[in-house]
Structures are given as C-alpha cells and as structure tokens.
Amino acid sequence: MRLLDLIPAPWRLGVGVALLALLAGGAAAGAWHIQDWRYGQQLEHQARLQADTLNQLSLAAAAQQRAEQDKRQALEQRLQVSDQTHSKELNDVQQDQARLRDRIATADLRLSVLLEANDPASGCDMPAATATGGVVHAAARARLDPAHAQRIIAITDDGDRALIALKACQAYAGAVSR
C-alpha cells in the first residue's frame, strides 16, 4: 500500500502540491544555506587577509619606531661624548690659565713684549745687539706690569672659552643635522 492510496482523492492534488512546495522550499533553503556558507567563507578569507595586512603594518611600524629609537640613542651617545670632550678641553684650558695666572702672580713668570729697536715713537733707543758681557742674545724686550699681564691672561682665557664653546655648538649642530 502506498501513501497516496491512504489520502482521499480530492485531497491528493492538494497534498501533492504541498509536498512539491515543501520540496521546493527545502531545496531553496538548502541553496540559501550553501550560498550562506560560500559567503561566510569569502568573508572569513577577507577577514584573515585584513588581519594579516594589519599585522604586517603594525610590525613595520614597530620596526620603524625601533630604528628611530636606535638613531636617537646613537645621537644622544655622540652628543654625550662630544659634551664630555668639550668639557675636558674647557677644564684643561682653565687649569692652564690658572697655572699661568699663579706663575705671573708669584713673579715666577714675567710677560714681556718685543720692542722695535729703531722705533722713534718709543722715546728710547735700545741697542739691537747685546753687550759682550751679556748672556741674552735676543731683541730688546720690555717687561709688562704683573697687573697688566693678569688682564691679558684673563682676556685670552675668555677667548679660549669662547672658542671651545663655539666648537661645541658647531659639533652639536653638525650631529643634530645629520
């Protein structure tokens, strides 16, 4: 006995149409599920590609940031070495100037200037040659007053400091502009 024999004849057409509708609906639903599955795979693939791209971009940005930090650290180290060098130079010059001032103050060292022997403006003619009993075989010289010598040493000290500061500024500007 078949299933259709159990259904009364006037209803058989309706049941057949209903069964066909169910089959068609099921097929359509199956098609929707397949299409949904395909789109899901495509979306998943696009999401993976986007995640990979974002990961690569973040890795590249991190590498660039590390490179910039390394450059900055190298610059800071060069500037620190340069600063130490210039500080040592300045300290050495200051110590030399202090020793020179001390030697002038204790009369251990006297500053003198060369005099032109034939200068009419000097007001006194100095002999160009030394006497036969003299030990010094140089041109005529005049000693400077120790106070004037101290002022001259102070001026040269300021000049030396300015030159060292200028050298330090030039080194800094050169290092930063690279």
Residue 126 has pLDDT above 80, yes or no: no
* pLDDT per residue as tens digits for the range 4-48: 566 666 676 677 778 778 777 777 777 777 777 788 888 899 999
Average model confidence (pLDDT) for the chain?
A: 80
Distances (CA, A) of 72 to 64, 67, 78, 80: 12, 9, 10, 12
Tell me the pTM.
Answer: 0.51
Rounded distance between C-alpha atoms, residue 144 and residue 54, angstroms: 79
pLDDT at 175: 85
Q: Which of 146, 126, 148, 128 is nearest to 137 (CA)?
A: 128
Residue 149 has pLDDT above 60, yes or no: yes
